[in-house]
Chains A and B, each alone.
Chain A
Amino acid sequence: MRALLKLLLAPLLLLLGVEALFRAGAWEPFARPDSHAGTSILRKRALSSPAYRRIDYVTLGSSRPEYGLDHEALAALAQRHGRVHANLSMPGSHWMTLDVLGDWLARAHPEVRGGIIALSIQDFLFAGNGAYELGIVYPFHRLADVRGMAQHVPFTREDPATWGLISALFEYREDVRDALLHPRERRDSLAWWHARPAEELLRQNTHRDEDMCAFGLDALDACDKVEVAGGERAAGLARQCRELRSGAKGRFDLTAMTRQQPQPEFLQLTRDLVRARLRSLRWSTPPIVVLMPAPRVWQDAVSPSGLHDWALDVLRPLTEDGSIHLIDATTALETDGRTDCRLFFDFYHQNDAGRARLMETLLPQIAALLYDARAAPAPP
């Protein structure tokens, strides 16, 4: 029996050793920089540079704030007050990222006193946004976080993309395979990224100057125009159109659902998780939650009707008890109920002009909330 145990246990222990190494971040220096995990690793690496030894404020969120907020202006504002503001928004970030990254910041940078959490109303529909988010949080997570992560993306045996919850080897397996298949490209891209200064990643804006006026942003017929247009850009927009059409096809009445007693389980789960995640941030100033501008087509044709109200309902108790400051910019880039097509470069994201327009109103509010002691009430 002992011999049999040895036969099974010895290889298993070795495997667990490799798994532990991956869990501990042994693969992080080699991870693909433009993958979800790689994006996080680059930011984690940048945060270890001397310029960011002390951080006061952070911006968290997805690609919407990545493009839609002026990180250079926020960093400059902080600098004027003798503070450091780091942009940690990453494409694909959702509630799981907020949870795990928030915890990591509390451990690695307990000095962080506050920040901006930029979301869109679509983020309030579901607790999870897909297994890809495991990649974003992996470099920041601890074993103890796994249970919380599974609340956003449950483990499903049939879906290997979720196996990252139980094994770091599974989480990084595509990355390892890619590195072995393209070792030279991996080495070159890592060298290129590692040569970038930390400031570039944590405070610079990402620039886009195209607009959507050739297609429109108010109704699904914009997609008809996209589909007849040729070229690389139209191909990218066509991919978004597939998501839009799929959303429109499955559109439902959220208002009616929210009136049900009890509310559907997925709504209860989302509501409770969102509130718990935002309350769990251990910052000395309440986080500023910004609801980012959403083109009209989302509200009128794609997102479930009543989503905006639902998002506000979820956040209301938090604003009322002072846990957060809310800036609702969902319709900030609209004129007479129409989205200004000059301010977006696709169906999701603002362009440079859109960022500038939003910041005209947003920056003073943020400045007041973060740096004006009178305007910023003490947390409860």
Chain B
Amino acid sequence: MLFNSFHFVVFFLLVLALNQALRRWPTAQKLMLLAASYYFYGQWSWIYLGLILWSTLLDYAIGLGLVRVSHPRRLLWLSLATNLGLLAFFKYANFLIANWNGVATAVAPTWQLTPLDVLLPVGISFYTFQSLSYVIDVYRGTSRPRRNLLDYALFVAFFPQLEAGPIVRDYEFFSELDGDRRVDAARVQEALVLIAFGFVKKMVFADNLARFADPVFDAPAQHGFWDVLLAVYAFAFQIYGDFSGYTDIAIGCALLLGFRYPQNFNYPYVAQTLQDFWRRWHMSLSRWLRDYLYISLGGNRHGPMRTYIALMLTMLLGGLWHGASWNFVLWGGVHGAWLALERGLLQRSALWRSESAPARALRWFVTFQVVCLAWVFFRSKTLADALTIFSTLAAPTAVAFDRANHGGIALLLAGLLAAHLLGGTRGTKTRLATAGAGPYATAMAALVLLLVLFTPQTSAPFIYFQF
């Protein structure tokens, strides 16, 4: 079930009404939310709901077992092996087979394997990481095991975050679940602003930008310099609108149900360094990678070289988490390499560290270009396509700017960038969430008007659903 569907609107209004009606009976309320979450996921696949149930029961039992057994490490490994094994099977098996077959073609063609006929379960990367974080936290002793199975099942499957995050930590979720979840007018205002912004980001900006970016990325060789350059920037804003839009809707919906989730995006394109970017982009994944991967790999505790290796490995695996393709690995690799470069070389440069306005502008500009160029690997279907894009940008054959074809999109992108930079410094969304009745009503009406006027006839699924 997609957030941007009529089905979801009806479903959510019903859940909202039931959530309100059952507020005096917490167990019934939780049961209803769990049933709704399973229904939400079941609309995509009832069979794959079994995977969520399995993950839930296993990690719930392991969580309880971790504080009782004498060798908790074994239980931790059991959870890691099972969860990551399932993720690997569904997400990476065919990737591994394809790579194996590539090698086998050259060495021994009879060793070729038949690709598996499996569908990637929606949200598996998200709920696997969420469930794993709980087990690791209990193992580390930073969290206590949750004894109530209903609570734990809801933590794993709560529908606003189930399909594409944010990846919520157990203490964040349970503190909300156990706390006062009354929804007052201020919360409703905040939630409505988030939801409206989310829909506008997704359906007005991301979906319309996709109409420009998709044809270029689908056939890069057929496009000239300006098409390609603008498509790269268009995709940067498309994926931001798509994913942060989804997150805004998810957080807004959770808020209406009484759960305050942490922020997942904080104007990432205002970042002055790539490290800053990762503190603003998909923040819940960045935190996860930092806490469970980067730190586990040694972090910055073992000298510069180990730090660079840890950074690189974290980003490579982070790239691979997004999808089973070398392009994602390369995307992660570019980020890892630039993060290492920032830490190793650029931080030593006085210019890079300066707080003067030109230095800040330079840092922002360079970082934004690195992020946008790295998206080329992320979005391109093949490595060859990505290289075609880079070669078109590096050695343009036709550089004439065609105002009729490029003027509109260039203006739109400039406007979006300006709005993003302005939003990053002034916190438009936050201000609206607490604004008085007049500005709030005007802004909301304007957002809905944007939706009515500019939503394309067909809306694409959220990009992060495929991860």
The stretch from B23-31, B54-62, B139-147, B446-454 touching chain A is B446-454
- Please give the distance in Å from A20's CB to the nearest CB on chain B: 13
**CB pair A15 B449 closer than 8 Å:** yes
**CB pair A14 B441 closer than 8 Å:** yes
- Please give the distance in Å from A132's CB to the nearest CB on chain B: 14
- State A8–B454 Cα separation when bound (angstroms): 22
Nearest CB in chain B to that of A163: its residue: B452
The stretch from A168-176, A215-223, A300-308 touching chain B is A168-176
Nearest CB in chain A to that of B457: its residue: A160
Residues of chain B within 8 A of A169, CB atoms compared = 449, 452-453
**CB pair A15 B448 closer than 8 Å:** yes
Given contacts A170-B452, A177-B453, contact A18 B189 (CB under 8 A): no
- State A170–B184 Cα separation when bound (angstroms): 33
Specify which of B184, B192, B437, B449 is in contact with A18 (CB 8 Å cutoff): B449
**CB pair B441 A10 closer than 8 Å:** yes
Residues of chain A within 8 A of B150, CB atoms compared = none
Instruction: Verify if A268 is at the interface (C-beta below 8 Å from B).
Output: no
Instruction: Verify if A7 is at the interface (C-beta below 8 Å from B).
Output: yes
Nearest CB in chain A to that of B442: its residue: A14
- Please give the distance in Å from B168's CB to the nearest CB on chain A: 26
**CB pair A4 B185 closer than 8 Å:** yes
**CB pair A7 B452 closer than 8 Å:** no
Residues of chain B within 8 A of A160, CB atoms compared = 457
Residues of chain B within 8 A of A7, CB atoms compared = 185, 188-189, 192, 440
**Count, chain A residues at interface, CB 8 A:** 22
- State A349–B452 Cα separation when bound (angstroms): 37
Instruction: Verify if B445 is at the interface (C-beta below 8 Å from A).
Output: yes
Residues of chain A within 8 A of B457, CB atoms compared = 160
Instruction: Verify if A181 is at the interface (C-beta below 8 Å from B).
Output: yes
- State A157–B5 Cα separation when bound (angstroms): 11
Residues of chain A within 8 A of B184, CB atoms compared = 3
- State A130–B449 Cα separation when bound (angstroms): 26
Instruction: Verify if A364 is at the interface (C-beta below 8 Å from B).
Output: no
Instruction: Verify if A6 is at the interface (C-beta below 8 Å from B).
Output: yes
Residues of chain B within 8 A of A181, CB atoms compared = 408
Residues of chain B within 8 A of A204, CB atoms compared = none
Q: Considering the complex, which residues of chain B in the window 429-467 have a beta carbon less than 8 Å from any beta carbon of chain A?
A: 437, 440-442, 444-445, 448-449, 452-454, 457
Q: Which of A14, A167, A176, A182 has the most CB of B within 10 A?
A: A14
- Please give the distance in Å from A35's CB to the nearest CB on chain B: 15
- State A7–B256 Cα separation when bound (angstroms): 13
- Please give the distance in Å from A18's CB to the nearest CB on chain B: 6
Instruction: Verify if A11 is at the interface (C-beta below 8 Å from B).
Output: yes
Give a binary string over A148-191; 1 marks a CB under 8 Å from any B CB, 0 the rest: 00000000010010000001011001001100011000000000
Residues of chain B within 8 A of A3, CB atoms compared = 184-185
Give a binary string over A1-23; 1 marks a CB under 8 Å from any B CB, 0 the rest: 00110111011111100100000
Given contacts A4-B188, A181-B408, contact A11 B454 (CB under 8 A): no
Given contacts A7-B440, A170-B452, A177-B454, contact A14 B445 (CB under 8 A): yes
- State A173–B451 Cα separation when bound (angstroms): 10
The B contact surface, by secondary structure, is: helix
- Please give the distance in Å from B131's CB to the nearest CB on chain A: 35
Residues of chain B within 8 A of A167, CB atoms compared = 452
Tally inter-chain residue pairs, CB-CB below 8 A.
48
**CB pair A11 B185 closer than 8 Å:** no
Residues of chain A within 8 A of B448, CB atoms compared = 11, 15
**CB pair A176 B453 closer than 8 Å:** yes
- Please give the distance in Å from A287's CB to the nearest CB on chain B: 38
- Please give the distance in Å from A27's CB to the nearest CB on chain B: 11
**CB pair B442 A6 closer than 8 Å:** no
Nearest CB in chain B to that of A16: its residue: B445
**CB pair A10 B437 closer than 8 Å:** yes
Residues of chain A within 8 A of B192, CB atoms compared = 7-8
Nearest CB in chain A to that of B208: its residue: A177
Nearest CB in chain A to that of B412: its residue: A181
- State A344–B448 Cα separation when bound (angstroms): 48
Residues of chain B within 8 A of A176, CB atoms compared = 453
- State A18–B440 Cα separation when bound (angstroms): 16
Q: Considering the complex, which residues of chain A in the window 62-86 have a beta carbon less than 8 Å from any beta carbon of chain B?
A: none
Nearest CB in chain B to that of A2: its residue: B185
- State A157–B10 Cα separation when bound (angstroms): 14
**CB pair A18 B408 closer than 8 Å:** no
Residues of chain B within 8 A of A4, CB atoms compared = 185, 188
Q: Considering the complex, which residues of chain B in the window 151-188 have a beta carbon less than 8 Å from any beta carbon of chain A?
A: 184-185, 188
**CB pair A173 B441 closer than 8 Å:** no
Given contacts A15-B445, A18-B449, contact A10 B185 (CB under 8 A): no
- Please give the distance in Å from B442's CB to the nearest CB on chain A: 7
Residues of chain B within 8 A of A12, CB atoms compared = 445
Residues of chain A within 8 A of B441, CB atoms compared = 10-11, 13-14
**CB pair A11 B408 closer than 8 Å:** no
- Please give the distance in Å from B463's CB to the nearest CB on chain A: 23
- State A173–B448 Cα separation when bound (angstroms): 13
**CB pair B185 A18 closer than 8 Å:** no
- State A15–B451 Cα separation when bound (angstroms): 12
Nearest CB in chain B to that of A14: its residue: B445
**CB pair A173 B445 closer than 8 Å:** no
- State A170–B442 Cα separation when bound (angstroms): 19
- State A167–B455 Cα separation when bound (angstroms): 15
Nearest CB in chain B to that of A3: its residue: B185
- State A320–B48 Cα separation when bound (angstroms): 68
**CB pair A173 B6 closer than 8 Å:** no
- State A176–B189 Cα separation when bound (angstroms): 29
Residues of chain B within 8 A of A170, CB atoms compared = 452
Residues of chain A within 8 A of B452, CB atoms compared = 167, 169-170, 173
Contact residues of B with A, CB < 8 Å?
6, 184-185, 188-189, 192, 408, 437, 440-442, 444-445, 448-449, 452-454, 457
- 28 A-B pairs with C-beta separation under 8 A: A3-B184, A3-B185, A4-B185, A6-B437, A7-B185, A7-B189, A7-B440, A8-B192, A10-B437, A10-B440, A11-B440, A11-B441, A11-B444, A13-B441, A14-B442, A14-B444, A15-B448, A15-B449, A18-B449, A157-B6, A160-B457, A167-B452, A169-B449, A169-B453, A170-B452, A173-B452, A177-B453, A177-B454
11 additional A-B pairs beyond A7-B189, A11-B448, beta carbons within 8 Å, are A4-B185, A6-B185, A6-B437, A7-B185, A10-B437, A10-B440, A11-B441, A15-B448, A173-B452, A173-B454, A176-B453
The 5 closest A-B pairs by CB, nearest first: A10-B441, A3-B185, A11-B444, A14-B445, A11-B445
